[in-house]
Amino acid sequence: MNKPDYSKKRDTFVLYHAYDYGKEKEHTETKILGVYSSRKKAKEAIERYRHLEGFCDYPKKCFQIDEYNIDYDMWWNEGFFNSD
């Protein structure tokens, strides 16, 4: 198996909107809003979304940007086991 070439890392930025709800805030609602080529573009998208119906009812901190590397094994790269 060939190892990926991580020297040419490419990043992508995923924009989410997430908030807690329920009597004791025991649930979380998360929406993936878009995938962007730069953090700047993701921030620009926040400005477009935050004034729309529904989104405007929540604080700006509900928008989250996560950075991911394209073509990169980030998690579970050693497998997993089931404790059952």
Is the pLDDT score of 12 beyond 90? Answer: yes
Q: CB under 8 Å, gap of 24 or more: what pairs does 1-10 form?
A: 4/71, 4/72, 4/73, 6/69, 6/72, 9/69, 9/70, 9/72, 10/69, 10/70, 10/71
Q: 19: how many CB neighbours lie within 10 A of its CB? A: 16
pLDDT tens digits for range 38-52: 999 999 999 999 999
């509900």: which residue's tokens?
A: 62
At 74 the pLDDT is 75
Q: What is the pTM of this model?
A: 0.75
Residue 74 CA, distance from chain mean position: 14
Which has more pLDDT, 27 or 7?
27
At 8, is the secondary structure helix, strand, or coil? helix
**Mean pLDDT, range 59-84, rounded to an integer:** 87
